[in-house]
Amino acid sequence: MLILKPASHADDMEVDRKEEIVTPGQVITKDLAFMRGHGTFTLNEQLVASVAGKIERVNKLVSVKPLKTRFNGEIGDVVVGRIAELGNKRWRVDIQGRQEATLLLSSINLPGGVQRRKNEADEMEMRSFFAEGDMLSAEVQAFFGDGGCSLHTRSFKYGKLRNGCLVVAPSALIKRSKSHFISLSCGVDVVLGLNGYIWVQKHVFISPEMQNQPEGLYINENDEISMEEREAISRVCNIITALVNHKQMIYETIIVFMYENSLEYQPVELLSADLQKSLIDSAISQLEAAE
């Protein structure tokens, strides 16, 4: 049974704040000029939220994007996934979606960067490219009729992920940006998967010569990581965790501001809820001042 919250002065808002969080039963607006989108319904000539999430507005169309939902992306989305299963000429990849994604053998770069048709010898070597449990970054290539999707890694910016750790966030909190590959000044790279999987790793420069070597693409061992690099990775992971805990959108600028503001603290101190809120408030103030 849906219970409506009492109306308040916030109910008459003009739906200008796209980041407004609403709960089921909350009145979004009484303005009849707005059209009902996903996650909303009309009641007593009012637009009401049917799910907990963030308000999204496109002209006069108002919808609510759920805070917790399975990834349902678009072609071209950057995702981070984990190999779940090896099949016939393909891998099944967990991308936190409604179904596991498919990565075809024909949709990867072969060692050496050679573009050719894959043969039976390549099929026999599939586990040497990606094995169960491996992390990878990829791009959504197409969608199937049943809602599943296929991926590809036919670019050297995609591929196997090493030298770092995974942070999981609701996909709704990942802000769409021009680039989801972030290189921070502290020597840490971040891959913001639009599916909510975020990979934080030590920066590794890949030269053209390395791209032409088999071990440069599909090596399994991590490189040596110094204590300073481990601390920087841990700091960035805890910053992203803080943003997730406080339901803040995750993107490059706010990560950079929070990192700079957190340098006077140890990484473990960033797990404090009070400190997390203080750092987020400071970063938001800086963002508003920069606009």
Report domain extents, the chain: 9-66, 78-218, 227-290
Alpha carbons 229 and 208: distance in angstroms, whole number: 24
pLDDT of amino acid 216 = 64
Q: Against a cut of 0.95, is the pTM above it?
A: no
pLDDT of amino acid 7 = 40
pLDDT of amino acid 6 = 42
65-115 pLDDT tens trace: 887 788 888 999 999 999 999 999 999 999 999 899 999 998 998 766 556
> Which of the listed CATH numbers 1.10.3720.10, 3.40.50.300, 2.40.50.140, 2.40.50.100 matches domain 78-218?
2.40.50.140
pLDDT of amino acid 123 = 86
pLDDT of amino acid 17 = 44
The segments of the chain whose pLDDT lies below 50 read 1-13, 15-18
Q: Which CATH class is domain 9-66?
A: mainly beta
Amino acid identity for residue 237 in this structure:
C
Query: Does the fold of domain 78-218 match that of domain 9-66?
Result: yes
Cα–chain center distance at 99: 17
